[in-house]
Homo-oligomer: A and B are copies of this chain.
Amino acid sequence: MSAEHLAFELSKEFLESIVQAVERKDAAFIASSLEGVDPADISLLLDEADSEQAKYVLEVLNNEISADVIEEFEEDTRKEFLNELSSEEIAQYIEEMESDDAVDAINDLPVRTREEVIAAIKDEESAAHIQELMRYDEDCAGGLMAKEMVVANVNWNIQQTIEEIRRQGENVEKLYSIYVVDDNEKLLGKVSVKKIILANAKTQIKDIYDEDIKSVETYLDEDEVADIMQKYDLVAVPVINLQGKLVGRITIDDIVDVITEQAEEDMQLMSGISNDVEEDDSIWAISKARLPWLLVGLIGGTFGAWAIGFFEGDLEKNAALAFFIPLVMATGGNVGIQSSTLVVQSLANKSAFEESFGRRVGKMLLVALLTGVVLAAISFGIVLWWKGGEEGLPSVVAISLICVVMLSSFMGTATPLILDKFGINPALASGPFITTTNDILGIIVYLAIANLLLL
């Protein structure tokens, strides 16, 4: 099957035909149209339909596929959809999900409904798993893990382990390694599926298991889990509690989502969008997410205006001075963002050998001096050619640029490092706050230098 076949006919026409089938209650047509279509694709399709239509379609499909479709819904769609269902109906779908996805879905529900749904789950083990997982914060290893995994006691042989795989088979979709524990469920190591396949039925687990296993503790932050799985190229990582007891497993698909969300969040922080919004959210939601930082920018701009006001006299004497305010300001802004981005990225790829604060800032200032001198020389030439040298304007612009580039580099380098020290996402430093600050500083530096040199 090629890539073309992957992206099957998810066209508006196909959606339309499904919607029409829903309206005439044509279950047979829906079932045959969606036969063999991946739940991820059905989910994309139903994201565009309304909740009642989606409800009918999912009733036509079998519960297992419907549960997969619900898992794949975007959060907004899922909330809206689950709202249409009774607690019993939700519980039916929840029972088909892996425990981590079940908890994600339940967390979308109003608090009161959650209890009802859990009470309506028939399988006691599932209910217990869900209740256990709900204790953990969403953003830590405990909140990412699922209870589904194959665990072998160290005293078993291969035959017993295969029986356990058979027993767990239905629940564990993704089988990569079998985790080995002692009688107290303490994690000891793992056996790869390859070894299981190649071993003799009588072989003892204790003779073949691999003690060299990476694991994470329940409280570990999701970003750190992502770093570890990425660094060691893991497809799954076992989760242990403080006593070393194996309590769950995190698979790479959840971590890929964490990495993607993190990148999106950083990008939004950099661009001054304060809530997690998407282009297809409502006009009001988007405006609300955008206004706070725009207001910060407006207030910053007012301070900038006030700073320029100080130098009103200079501007009245020499209006040409105003011409270069945007140039100095924009250069400062660009330099600040460049610096902070480099620092943010190197903070994201933390190595064991961090440079000290002083060395980093020192190096960035050298880069700033070099780029500042180049920019100053070029701008000196431009201003000299355009305005002539008599009023000293070329020197004012050139000297200001060097100072502003140095200052913005310092701010752009120091701010993310300081934010990071306080546990705040350093990407914030590439956003409108630092840009606004740099703007105001740039204006003051430029006009102050003009005032000193021209008067």
User: Residues of A at under 8 Å CB distance from B?
Assistant: 1-3, 6-7, 10-12, 15, 36, 38, 40, 44-45, 47-48, 162, 165-166, 169, 172, 174-176, 192-194, 196-198, 212-217, 220, 224, 228-233, 235, 240, 244, 252-253, 255-257, 259-260, 263-264, 266-268, 270-273, 277-280, 283-284, 286-287, 290-291, 293-295, 297-298, 300-302, 304-306, 308-309, 312, 315-316, 319-320, 322-331, 333-335, 337-338, 340-346, 349, 351-353, 355, 360, 363, 366-367, 370-371, 374-375, 378-379, 382, 386, 430, 432, 435-436, 439, 443
Contact = CB atoms under 8 A, between A and B. Distances in A.
Contact of A259 (B260, B268, B284, B355): B260
Given A230-B256, A360-B279, A443-B326, A270 B273 contact: no
B36 A212 contact: yes
A334 B294 contact: yes
Copies in the complex: 2
B331 A329 contact: no
A298 B404 CA distance: 13
A140 to B, nearest CB: 11
A298 B345 CA distance: 25
A366 B283 contact: yes
A158 B275 CA distance: 53
Given A44-B352, A230-B260, A294-B375, 8 more contacts: A230-B257, A235-B235, A235-B253, A297-B334, A298-B327, A298-B331, A304-B323, A326-B326
Contacts of A326: 301, 304-305, 308, 325-326, 329, 439, 443
A169 B198 contact: yes
Given A197-B165, A305-B326, A432-B334, A233 B260 contact: no
B287 A371 contact: yes
A230 to B, nearest CB: 6
A167 to B, nearest CB: 11
Residue of A2, A15, A277 with highest tally of chain B CB at under 10 A: A2
Contacts of A7: 352
Contact of A267 (B38, B162, B267, B301): B267
Nearest to A315: B319
Main secondary structure of the interface of A (DSSP, over half): helix
Contacts of A320: 309, 312
Nearest to A14: B352
Nearest to A15: B353
Contact of A298 (B297, B378, B435): B378
In the A-B complex, list the 4 residue pairs whose CB atoms are closest, starting with the nearest: A301-B327, A263-B263, A10-B352, A271-B341
